[in-house]
Structure 1
């Protein structure tokens, strides 16, 4: 029997015309068959929090809070801006800090020469403080604009797919293991 878990795929950018859409769309075509589990994927997008109406923003906040709370694991897809992660992602993490606790977080990053690795290193520290477990494997797209063709397909699929498969296997293991742990042992948060 395959294990089941809910994966929240979290956008790290809220900019218009963002490359994050291309990366996420590609991931959604690849991940389901790679994850060693029966999964439900929910999308969490900080762009949903950009609303002129307080009512619309409140509805988005409630939906995001529900999706983050029900997630058993997180996959953050983030660009690197100015050697760090984005303001939109920071606001999202800081606004919803409890749901991350006791759950695994994986990263897919993109950017210029570093491929977003500096953003990931900062995020590892943040998620450690929030009680999440960041997994070792990452997928980083250096010179990201050049890595995808005009149809959103990856230009070097063999290398990229191997790395994504390693990430997916680790994330699946951590998601299933920590979910079982949360269901069997109540561990009070350390504050």
Structure 2
């Protein structure tokens, strides 16, 4: 595949809690994505993005420096994978904050999810995130990877114990994500995505 045809994939670690498990999941996921010929991979850790949690109601207000610094990384992405735990039947507040700080960076781009949790495997958080990303005009893919009782799902090497099963699930998710990323990149190139009532 030609270099210009490769897709920029951004993996977002959605939890900022001390002792969180997200980086372990994200590192495994990035290693799987790195084996493919169609993705260049970046990891964004919201714990080190330092996005402020207070924003102005004025849409034209100057965005804080941390928000401006992260914007080009999101804007250049062709696709996203959000790594999320489930906290109290939902997803982390820091993740919602990050989504809300941006607008056009999400438009007409595909988003996949890798979740982890207890009995629900984090899938309740994913169900809610699908609604949130739909409202910022992103496209969520059906295929997901989820970890039930995550604390007993990974070995000390940072790899899933059910390695073949998890690798296969990740491959299916990446295949679908890549399809949407290529289709939507072509569509945005042919016709820029604009919201009703907004004009450049």
Normalised by the size of structure 2, how large is the TM-score?
0.86
Return the offset for 1:130. 0.8
SS in 1 for 2:9: strand
Q: Confirm or deny that 1:32 pairs with 2:34.
A: yes
Counterpart in 2 of 1:18?
20
Contact map agreement 2:22 2:85 (CA 8 A) in 1: yes
**Residue 98 of structure 1, aligned match among 82, 101, 104:** 104
Bigger relative contact order (CA 8 A; separation at least 6): 1
Q: Distance in 1 between matches of 2:28 and 2:65?
A: 28
Query: Structure 1 runs of 4+ off > 6 angstroms?
Result: none
On the 8 A contact 2:107/2:193 being kept in 1, the answer is no
How far the C-alpha of 1:51 sits from its partner, in A, is 7.9
TM-score by length of 1: 0.90
CA contact (8 A) 2:108 2:193 kept: no
8 A Cα contact 1:4 1:176, kept in partner? no
Name stretches of at least 5 consecutive residues in structure 2 with no aligned partner: 53-63
Corresponding residue of 1:55: none
| Structure richer in helix, relative to its length | 1
SS of corresponding position for 2:35: helix
Residue of structure 2 equivalent to 1:75: 81
- Local SS of the residue matching 2:72: helix
Ranges in structure 1 where 5+ consecutive residues have no aligned partner:
53-57
Aligned length: 185
